[in-house]
C-alpha cells in the first residue's frame, strides 16, 4: 500500500468541552493551508519547525477571527507522519473544533480516517506495525504494567526481537542454500546435526518464549471477569462493593439485572474488566431470556468467573446448572450473604468442593463488606499464582502476533524435523522461508492490505 499524497485533517482531542482542543493536519499542503487561515500576532513569521506561534485563526469566508490559537508545525521528515504537520491548539468545544476542521476541509484537506496519521508513519517507514499497535495499547492500557509494556513496544523492543529472529533465519537459510548448491560440501557448511541444533536454539526456543509472554497481555487488555450466579445471589451487590459505588441496581426482585454492566477496576494492581450479568434461571420473559443468553456468552469468553452462591439458602436447580457451566473455567467461588443464618446443607458444601477442587472458595457478605479483601487477594492469586512478581517481559505479543508466531513455530519445527530426517535441503529451505514470512507479518514487512486495515481500524480519529 503506497502512502497517499493528499493532505489530511482531523480533530485529535476527545469530543466535548475542555481547556484545549487540537486539530491536526498532515501532508504536503499543510503549511500552505495554515498560512491562509492563520494571522500571527508577530508579522513576518516563516513557520520554523517545532516552534509555537500565537495568533488568530481566521474564517476566510467572513474574514472574522474564529479563536485565538497556538499553532505549531513539524516539518517533514521530522514529524509523527514524516510529512509536514501543523497542529492548531484552540479552546475546546465541539462546535469550535468542528468549525476549524470545516475551514480546513474547505481549503482542500481530506478528513483523516481513524489511525491514518499513524498509518502514514508506518507507510513512510518511521515505525513498524508492532510500534503502531503499541500506540493503541498505550491509549487503552488498563494498568501501570500495561503502560510499561506499551511504551517498550513503541520504543521498538518487540520489533528488535523479531528483526533479530528474522536475521537468524536468514543466516540459517543461507547455509541451507549453500548446501543445495554444493551438496558435496554439505558436511562442512551445514551438517544436518548442526543445522537442526541451530534451528532449535536460534529459532524454535525464542519463538516459544515469545509465545509464552502472550499471557502477559492481561496487563494491557485487562482480565475479562464475569460475575455469574442465579437471580438474587448478590451479583450486582458484589459489583457495587468492589467498585465502591452504586453502579448497578440492587433490589430484592429476582431478575433485576438484564444487561451486562461493565466496569474497569484494579485488584492488587491487576486490571479487571468486571461484568455484572443477568441471573441465570429458566424464564419465559423474552427480555430476561435475552439477558441470560448474553450471560452465557460472556461466561464462555471469560478469563475468570466469580461464581456467586447464596449461603442463606440451599442450592437449587439453577445453581447446579451454573456450577456445571463454570466448573471447567478459571473460577473463584464466592459464597455470599454470610451475615444471614446459613441455609446451605453439608451435602451442598461438599458438592461445591467436588465441582471446584482447585478453585479458591471465599465466604463474604456483599452487604456488609466482610470478606471482600480476602476475595481481592484470592482473585489476584488465582490470576498470578502465589507470590509471582508483576514485572513484564521485554516483549509481549498480542493475539495477532501470537497467530503469526504459531505459523512461524510450525514452519521451524518442520524445518528441524526435515533436517534431522535427511530430507532434501530444498524442503528445509522452503520451510525456513515460510517461517521468515510469518515473522515478517508481525512487523508488517509481509502484511497484506487487510491486515493493515484490521490494525488501523482500532485507532481513534486524529491518531
Residues near ligand GTP, by CB under 6 A: 229, 231-237, 250-252, 254-257, 279, 336-337, 339-340, 365-367
β-strand partners of 266 = 271
SS3 of the chain = CCCCCCCEEEECCCCCCEEEEEEEEECCCHHHHHHHHEEECCCCCCCCCCEEEEEEEECCCCCCEEEEEEEEEECCCCCCCCCCEEEEEEEECHHHHHHHHHHHHHCCCEECCCCHHHHHHHHCCCCCHHHHHHHHHHHHCCCHHHHHHHHHHHCCHHHHHHHHHHHHHHHHHHHHHHHHHCHHHHHHHCCHHHHHHHHHHHHHHHHHHHHHHHHHHHHHHCEEEEEEEECCCCHHHHHHHHHCCCCCCCCCCCCCCCCCEEEEEEECCEEEEEEECCCECCCCCHHHHHHHHHHHHHHHHCCEEEEEEECCCCCCHHHHHHHHHHCCCCEEEEEECCCCCCCCCHHHHHHHHHHCCCCEEEECCCCCCCCHHHHHHHHHHHHHCCCCCCCCCCCCCCHHHHHHHHHHHHHHHHHHHHHHCCCCHHHHHHHHHHHHHHHHHHHCCCCCHHHHHHHHCCCCCCC
Least separation, in Å, of the C-beta of 330 and ligand GTP? 21
Partner from Mg ion, ligand GTP, none binding residue 225, C-beta < 5-8 Å depending on class: none
Least separation, in Å, of the C-beta of 356 and ligand GTP? 19
CB nearer to ligand GTP: give 112 or 333.
333
275 near 404, Cβ under 8 Å?
no
Partner from ligand GTP, Mg ion, none binding residue 26, C-beta < 5-8 Å depending on class: none
77 upstream amide cis, omega within 30 of 0: yes
232 touching Mg ion, by CB under 5 A = no
Partner from ligand GTP, Mg ion, none binding residue 96, C-beta < 5-8 Å depending on class: none
CB nearer to ligand GTP: give 5 or 317.
317
CB nearer to ligand GTP: give 87 or 276.
276
Least separation, in Å, of the C-beta of 288 and ligand GTP? 9
Partner from Mg ion, ligand GTP, none binding residue 348, C-beta < 5-8 Å depending on class: none
CB nearer to ligand GTP: give 79 or 277.
277
Which grid cell is 144? 501501570
Least separation, in Å, of the C-beta of 356 and Mg ion? 22
Least separation, in Å, of the C-beta of 285 and ligand GTP? 12
Least separation, in Å, of the C-beta of 248 and ligand GTP? 7
Least separation, in Å, of the C-beta of 325 and ligand GTP? 15
CB nearer to ligand GTP: give 206 or 255.
255
296 near 215, Cβ under 8 Å?
no
CB nearer to ligand GTP: give 284 or 391.
284
Neighbours of 257 (CB within 10 A): 22
**Which residue minimizes CB distance to ligand GTP?**
279
Partner from ligand GTP, Mg ion, none binding residue 401, C-beta < 5-8 Å depending on class: none
Q: Cα–Cα distances in Å, from 272 out to 76, 324, 335?
A: 41, 24, 20
Least separation, in Å, of the C-beta of 345 and ligand GTP? 19
CB nearer to ligand GTP: give 234 or 435.
234
CA distance 226 to 379: 12
CB nearer to Mg ion: give 217 or 235.
235
336 touching Mg ion, by CB under 5 A = no
* First-residue to last-residue Cα distance in the chain: 19
Partner from Mg ion, ligand GTP, none binding residue 234, C-beta < 5-8 Å depending on class: ligand GTP
The count of chain residues that interact with Mg ion, using the rule CB under 5 A, is 4
Least separation, in Å, of the C-beta of 253 and ligand GTP? 7
CB nearer to Mg ion: give 24 or 258.
258
236 touching Mg ion, by CB under 5 A = yes
Least separation, in Å, of the C-beta of 227 and ligand GTP? 8
Using a 10 angstrom Cβ sphere, with 0-12 exposed, 13-18 middle and 19 or more buried, the burial of residue 378 is: buried
Partner from ligand GTP, Mg ion, none binding residue 237, C-beta < 5-8 Å depending on class: ligand GTP
CA distance 47 to 395: 40
Partner from ligand GTP, Mg ion, none binding residue 366, C-beta < 5-8 Å depending on class: ligand GTP
Least separation, in Å, of the C-beta of 308 and Mg ion? 10
CB nearer to ligand GTP: give 253 or 386.
253
Contact track, Mg ion, 249-278, x by CB under 5 A: -------xx---------------------
CB nearer to Mg ion: give 230 or 311.
230
Partner from ligand GTP, Mg ion, none binding residue 255, C-beta < 5-8 Å depending on class: ligand GTP
Binding site for Mg ion (CB under 5 A): 235-236, 256-257
Amino acid at each position: 500500500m503506497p502512502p497517499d499524497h493528499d493532505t489530511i485533517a482531523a480533530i485529535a482531542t476527545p469530543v466535548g468541552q475542555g481547556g484545549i482542543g487540537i486539530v491536526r493536519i498532515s501532508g504536503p499542503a499543510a503549511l500552505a493551508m495554515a498560512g491562509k487561515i492563520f494571522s500571527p500576532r508577530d508579522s513576518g513569521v516563516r513557520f520554523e519547525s517545532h516552534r509555537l506561534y500565537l495568533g488568530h485563526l481566521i474564517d476566510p469566508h467572513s474574514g472574522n477571527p474564529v479563536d485565538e490559537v497556538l499553532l505549531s508545525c513539524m516539518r517533514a521528515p521530522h514529524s509523527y507522519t514524516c510529512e509536514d504537520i501543523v497542529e492548531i491548539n484552540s479552546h475546546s468545544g465541539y462546535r469550535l473544533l468542528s468549525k476549524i476542521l470545516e475551514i480546513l476541509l474547505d481549503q482542500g484537506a481530506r478528513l483523516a480516517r481513524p489511525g491514518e496519521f499513524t498509518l502514514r508513519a508506518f507507510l513512510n517507514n518511521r515505525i513498524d506495525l508492532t510500534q503502531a499497535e503499541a500506540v493503541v495499547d498505550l491509549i487503552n492500557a488498563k494498568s501501570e504494567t500495561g503502560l510499561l509494556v506499551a511504551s517498550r513496544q513503541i520504543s521498538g523492543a518487540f520489533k528488535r526481537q523479531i528483526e533479530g529472529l528474522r536475521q537468524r533465519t536468514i543466516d540459517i537459510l543461507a547455509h541451507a542454500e549453500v548446501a543445495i548448491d554444493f551438496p558435496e560440501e554439505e558436511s562442512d557448511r551445514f551438517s544436518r546435526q548442526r543445522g537442526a541444533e541451530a534451528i532449535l536454539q536460534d529459532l524454535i526456543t525464542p519463538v516459544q518464549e515469545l509465545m509464552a509472554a502472550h499471557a502477559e497481555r492481561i496487563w494491557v487488555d485487562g482480565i475479562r471477569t464475569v460475575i455469574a450466579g442465579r437471580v438474587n445471589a448478590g451479583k450486582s451487590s458484589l459489583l457495587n462493593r468492589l467498585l465502591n459505588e452504586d453502579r448497578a441496581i440492587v433490589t430484592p426482585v429476582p431478575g433485576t439485572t438484564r444487561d451486562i454492566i461493565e466496569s474497569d477496576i484494579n485488584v492488587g494492581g491487576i486490571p479487571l474488566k468486571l461484568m455484572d450479568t443477568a441471573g441465570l434461571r429458566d424464564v419465559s420473559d423474552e427480555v430476561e431470556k435475552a439477558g441470560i443468553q448474553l450471560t452465557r456468552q460472556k461466561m464462555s469468553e471469560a478469563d475468570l468467573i466469580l461464581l456467586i452462591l447464596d449461603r442463606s439458602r440451599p442450592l437449587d436447580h439453577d445453581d447446579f446448572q451454573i456450577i456445571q457451566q463454570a466448573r471447567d473455567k478459571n473460577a473463584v467461588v464466592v459464597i455470599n450473604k454470610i451475615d444471614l443464618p446459613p441455609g446451605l446443607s453439608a451435602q451442598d458444601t461438599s458438592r461445591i468442593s467436588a465441582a471446584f477442587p482447585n478453585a479458591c472458595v471465599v465466604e463474604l457478605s456483599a452487604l456488609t463488606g466482610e470478606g471482600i479483601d480476602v476475595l481481592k487477594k484470592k482473585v489476584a492469586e488465582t490470576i498470578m499464582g502465589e507470590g509471582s512478581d508483576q514485572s513484564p517481559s521485554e516483549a509481549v505479543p498480542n493475539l495477532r502476533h501470537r497467530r503469526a508466531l504459531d505459523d512461524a513455530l510450525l514452519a521451524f519445527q518442520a524445518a528441524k524435523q526435515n533436517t534431522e530426517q535427511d530430507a532434501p535441503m530444498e524442503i528445509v529451505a522452503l520451510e525456513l522461508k515460510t517461517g521468515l514470512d510469518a515473522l515478517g507479518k508481525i512487523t508488517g514487512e509481509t502484511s497484506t492490505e487487510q491486515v493493515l486495515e484490521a490494525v488501523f481500524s482500532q485507532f481513534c480519529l486524529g491518531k
